A and B are shown apart, each in its own frame.
Chain A
């Protein structure tokens, strides 16, 4: 059974750093994209970026380039999304999702349960 299990909810202060995780199981982690999707409170889905764990090829949305870093450790089948200096506007639910190797970027066929990030002073 394919599963993506994300790390737990986080409460942080502005300016702090954070790294959240997404562990895949039940499939070959290195041959599917892992994507990150933001959903701000009461809002829609936003494509943050994707990583191909096999070679760490990474693509960011221009809206998120330079604001976050996506990485992966294939030895533990885990992808990461990190911030060096959080802002209140980073408050959101963050989903990871698996993407088949189809074209330049993937659709997402399995999703994690989401990690709620709250940034407040």
Chain B
């Protein structure tokens, strides 16, 4: 199965900053089938990005995804207070689907 490694483990930034989160796959992700989710404490995850770069319904355009093959990035431009959360990547091009271990985005 494909192993996803997210970095950094924790990212400390201030509101208004730009956040760059990385997700690296152990082998190429088929057709760039890579999704990103956000999870706040006590809540279910929420889909942000699918297909590496397509925003899900209702997701603001400060969230953007990029990358291909084995290296993917989630960028959040102009952090809002509600953006501080844990972010997970998931590949769904190969079975079984797998998640990264998460990046915690915390307020500096």
Contact = CB atoms under 8 A, between A and B. Distances in A.
Chain A partners chain B: yes
A38 to B, nearest CB: 10
Contacts of A35: 97
Interface of A: 35, 37, 44-47, 49-50, 59-62, 95, 97, 99, 102-114
A99 to B, nearest CB: 8
How many chain B residues sit at the interface, stated as a range, is 20 to 34
A59 B97 CA distance: 10
B88 interface: yes
A28 B37 CA distance: 24
A47 B44 contact: no
B94 interface: yes
B44 A107 contact: no
A104 B99 contact: no
Contacts of A50: 97
B45 interface: yes
Interface in B28-43: 30-31, 33, 35, 37, 39
A111 to B, nearest CB: 4
B45 A106 contact: no
A22 B1 CA distance: 27
A104 B93 contact: yes
A69 to B, nearest CB: 16
Interface in B1-48: 1, 30-31, 33, 35, 37, 39, 44-47
Given A47-B98, A62-B1, A109 B92 contact: no
Nearest first, the 6 A-B pairs at minimum CB distance are A107-B35, A111-B44, A105-B97, A61-B96, A45-B99, A44-B102
B107 interface: no
A12 to B, nearest CB: 22
B84 interface: no
A111 B96 contact: no
A111 B95 contact: no
